[in-house]
Structure 1
Amino acid sequence: MKNLYAIINWLFLVSYWLLIAGITLRIMIKRRSAPSAMAWLLIIYIIPLIGIVAYLLFGELNLGKNRAERNKALWLSTVRWIEEFKECSYLFASEHSEVARSLFQLCKYRQGIGGLKGNQTKLITNTDDVMLSLIHDIGLAKKNIEMVFYTWQIGGLVDQVAEELMAASRRGVCCRLMLDSVGSIEFFRSPYPVILRTAGIYVVEALHVNLLRVFFHRADLRQHRKIILIDNYVAYTGSMNMVDPRFFKQHAGIGQWIDIMVRIEGPVATSIGSIFSCDWEVETGERILSSPPNINITKFEKEASHAIQVIASGPGFPEGVIHQALLMSIYAAQKRLVMTTPYLVPSDDLLYAICTAAQRGVSVHIIVPRYNDSMLVSWASRAFFAELLESGVLIHQFEDGLLHTKSVLVDGQLSLVGTVNLDMRSLWLNFEITLVIDNNDFGKDLERAQEDYISRSRIIEATAWAKRPYWQRIVERLFYFFSPLL
């Protein structure tokens, strides 16, 4: 009996160390940043069993077998669509401002498609205005309405949007709605999915979390895009979820969420629609990507035309392109750089680029909320403040709610607006979307919004920050350790 126990113990120990060695090899073989790899290795060696389980759940970008197969099958049709779209050469911008030229060239190389002209954009900074504009556009829809959101929460003006969407479906408009399983968990537990489906709306729960299959696809991979597409010609995107701030997370004690959205008319809507089509096919297996429509841009050619590039990220899309775009934008800045983000946990490259911009004389402003809905991210963000402040970066803490706007404005000309937070999850993991807009008039609109945020913020003084309690520094460094994983 003793020999049997000895053999079992020996087999257990061998299996245990082989498992750790196998996971170590997987971490080292996978292409990832050195800080991320070191963080995973330390977690696995310090708390082995918990660390191994955590890595199997969250350590690798795994779509799951079915989604991965659909993603692979989708690639050839997407390439054909891009080539067909590129034949409409009159849609593509040939001239860009000096600050934007290199970034648009990068996006063209990485994504296979250039920036589009003939677009008319409108920056909407008030949630009620977004909802009312959307309700109006849905009421005019004739062919199709497609939406994807991370969060949809019933209540307030959101219910009016839902009513208008159901009315559109009843009059024959094809309506598709895709919502993230985790972000919209309360919605899927409510009667609303049945109500919308009864009205003829296709409702899909994206990236559904199944406890029985958590080891077969990454559980924390999220559909974080916010897209509305109407008749393949009008589109909305930005930071706003389908929520009414007066009803959303009121118990959190952080105030109402502050967001922006961009309403677009023009060929960029077609590009955004192709991204939705890819997401829809990967999730459902249904192919809805059709040939690019014949688009007339002449009515905007006489006005201020906005050259726009759409950057999409997530599994199946060019890896790291949003990260590259942010780096190029920061290095292109010559006079003024303003960034707004609710979650500031930048990569080492981004941190270095921001600090370098301030050190070479660029006026750099970062606007973050003073109070955050994520304790982990809030503490991790503070670990970066000292280095930023020492470099001359001005950090403004927004005090009038949770500033959820994600934006970058370079020299008043080049704007980046979308769903991407300055953290590892947005930059390397989630399905995200960003608009790159090369237009001075739009830049002025975004600048006004950012100046309004600054007027409602408290600036952090470098001397005062250096005197913060020592225990806070310890907590900051503790959460900084997990920043590559956030």
Structure 2
Amino acid sequence: MPAFNRNTPLMITFYTVINWLSLFSYWLLIAGVTLRILMKRRTAPSAMAWLLVIYILPLVGIMTYLLFGELHLGKRRAKRAKSMWPSTSNWLKALKDYQHIFTNQNSEVALPLFKLCERRQGISGVKGNQLKLLTTTADTLKTLIRDIKSARCNIEMVFYIWQSGGLVDQVAEALMAAARRGVSCRLMLDSAGSRHFFRGPYPKMMRDAGVEVIEALKVNLFRVFFRRMDLRQHRKMVLIDNAIAYTGSMNMVEPRFFKQNAGVGHWIDLMARTEGPIATTMGIVYACDWEIETGQRMLPPPPNINLMTSEQKTDRIIQVIASGPGFPEELIHQALLTAVYAARQQLVMTTPYFVPSDDLLHAICTAAHRGVDVSIIVPHKNDSMMVRWASRSFFAELLEAGVKIYQFEGGLLHSKSVLVDKQLSLLGTANLDMRSLWLNSEITLLIDDDVFGRDLARVQEDYIARSVPIDAAKWTKRSVRQRVTERLFYFFSPLL
């Protein structure tokens, strides 16, 4: 019989206390995160999704929420975002002295949306713009190269992805040549999207040529604890000489060199090239992004008076919306809702990633119930499995409401556009998913012009001609396995 150890009861008591303290701390942590989720103002589906993840996979769920559940911009960037607004506000007030560039008239369908943006952003839409749709990557890159070669003062660029190859290398060479001849050149690229670029030779080559190259929102293990890593710089924008501007869905890539092994085909994009005062208002967006990322203030100059007062062949009315840290919250989401509710005859939407909020889904279905001819065009093949299945979970409700859904067969349809009654166009970088609507830095142009609307309508009609419509009757007969998979990924839709 072993000898009695008088320390044994003490040890048992010690381990019991440790176990109880660990269990108490564990439940206290869960309760604390639960309370934090409930106290944050977020949609009910999003809150429920996070709670279920945390209670089903407690430790993994808590860690995931702490990393990705809240908008952590980082103290330094948050401070810069807050401090830049006094000077930005003064610049906007000074811009209003140029009354001749602003519009006080809008079409009936566009008026509510332009009023919303004016009140939330402090600036109204501008007129006197020329605007051209660029429907192929080759046309966009060739046109951009010509504009870069003609630049005299400044070139500012921001892209989510820059991948070398083909015409993109000619863009890089033209940019470096511009810097060598004295043009001020700035290039800001997202760290995650352009990771291959930053590992290649071009960053050093560009910097040696005089181009300021900035890696935005750097990704590394250390920064995980101080800033949300999936907060991305998703804008695609080029500004030249404070007079020419580009934006749209295209990253700085040539499709034949990009994601060839993804099995989705070439990416199909849509860009807009503008001339006029809209370049000035887009410049303030770039200046704010640059200051948040670098701490350097670079407010753009006032509009070119000679350009603004000259007779224009076209007079397109355009408003710019920017989202992301430092800009009005939820504005792109509010703009989409306003545009959908304004539709009276026709609504056409194109997006590669369709994971709408409940409010947006309800607005689209309501438009169809009101008798609006609603069409949504999405790619048949998608490079994101989760988004592909999650988006399909919305199809049944849309089809039941009378929405026409087309699956594009000619590649990965990456263009992001909304056309309301062939008069009001929304064109830019934002997808119809939670990430673009609530998190990423995006930019969207609002265009109140029936001529441009007809041009966009022709592009969308071409997309539809290259698509296969989803038959509502056949969709209701899809397999149980498919339905279960859709609902499983729908569970994660608020988090995508």
Q: Does TM-score exceed 0.5, indicating one fold?
A: yes
- Work out the CA distance in 1 between the residues paired with 2:310 and 2:256: 36
Give the Cα–Cα distance (whole angstroms) in 2 for the partners of residues 122 and 64 of structure 1. 38
User: Could you tell me how far apart the structure 2 residues matched to 1:216 and 1:415 are?
Assistant: 38
SS state at 1:67 partner: helix
Matched, 1:408 2:423: no
Further displaced range: 16-25 or 260-269: 16-25
1:418-475 residue CA offsets vs partner (Å, 9 max, x unmatched): 0010000000000000000001111111011101100000000001111111100000
Structure 2 CA distance for partners of 1:202 and 1:394, relative to 1, 3 Å: same
Aligned to 1:265: 275
Alpha-carbon offset, residue 290 of structure 1:
4.0
Q: Residue 481 of structure 2: which of 471, 480, 486 is its match?
A: 471
**Structure 2 residue corresponding to 1:387, chosen from 394, 397, 405:** 397
Counterpart for residue 459 of structure 2? 449
Pick from 82, 94, 105 the counterpart of residue 95 of structure 1.
Answer: 105
Q: Which residue of 2 aligns with 1:462?
A: 472
1:46 CA displacement: 1.1
Percent identical pairs in the alignment equals 68
Is the 8 Å Cα contact of residues 277 and 308 (structure 2) preserved in structure 1? no
Residue of structure 2 in register with 1:485 after alignment: 495
What secondary structure, in the 3-state scheme, does the structure 2 residue paired with 1:246 have? Answer: helix
Which TM-score applies when normalising by structure 1?
0.99
Q: Tell me, yes or no, if the aligned pair for 1:178 and 1:203 is still in contact at 8 Å.
A: yes
2-structure distance, mates of 1:439, 1:244:
30
1:197 is matched with 207
Q: Report the residue type matching 1:12 in the other structure.
A: S
Does structure 1 residue 251 correspond to structure 2 residue 243?
no
Distance (Å, rounded) in 2 between the aligned partners of 1:53 and 1:218: 12
Per-residue deviation at 1:302?
4.8
Q: 2:64 aligns with which of 44, 54, 76?
A: 54
What number of residue pairs does the alignment pair up? 486
Amino acid aligned to 1:154: S
- What is the distance in 2 between the residues matched to 1:195 and 1:31? 46
- Shift in alpha-carbon separation, 1:300–1:435, aligned structure 2, 3 A: farther
Offset of 1:85 from its aligned partner? 1.1
Quick one: structure 1 residues 365 and 220, their matched pair in 2 at CA, closer, same or farther if it must change by over 3 Å?
same
2:125 maps to 115
Which structure 1 residue ranges, 4+ long, deviate > 6 Å from structure 2? none
Match of 1:331 among 313, 331, 341: 341
The residue type paired with residue 152 of structure 1 is W
Q: Which has the larger radius of gyration?
A: 2
Aligned to 2:251: 241
Q: What code does the residue aligned with 2:183 have?
A: V
1:84-115 residue CA offsets vs partner (Å, 9 max, x unmatched): 11121111011111110111001001111000
Deviation, 1:317, is: 0.6
Q: Structure 1: which 5+ runs fail to align?
A: none
Answer whether contact 1:81 1:291 (CA < 8 A) is retained: no
Contact 2:129–2:312 (CA under 8 A) maintained in structure 1 = no
In 2, the alpha carbon distance for the partners of 1:108 and 1:152 equals 33
Structure 2 regions of 5+ residues with no counterpart? 1-10
Aligned to 2:115: 105
Deviation at 1:210, TM superposition (A): 2.0
Query: Does the 8 A contact of 1:119 with 1:297 survive in 2?
Result: no
Match of 2:429 in 1: 419
Q: What does residue 317 of structure 2 align with?
A: 307
Partner of 1:170 in structure 2?
A: 180
CA distance in 2, matches of 1:325, 1:297: 30
AA at the equivalent of 2:411 = G
State the distance in 2 between where 1:222 and 1:269 align.
Answer: 23
The answer as to whether partners of 2:277 and 2:303 remain within 8 angstroms in 1 is no
Segment of structure 1 superposing worse, 376-385 or 210-219: 210-219
1:326-365 equivalence runs, <5 A = 326-365=336-375
Give the corresponding residue for 2:46: 36
Match of 2:406 among 384, 396, 402: 396
Deviates more, 1:320-329 or 1:16-25: 16-25
Say whether 1:221 aligns with 2:231.
yes
Aligned partner of 2:245: which letter? A
Alpha-carbon distance, 1:72 to partner: 1.1
Scaled by the length of structure 2, the TM-score of the pair is 0.97
Report SS of the residue matched to 1:303: coil
**Quick one: structure 1 residues 399 and 374, their matched pair in 2 at CA, closer, same or farther if it must change by over 3 Å?**
same
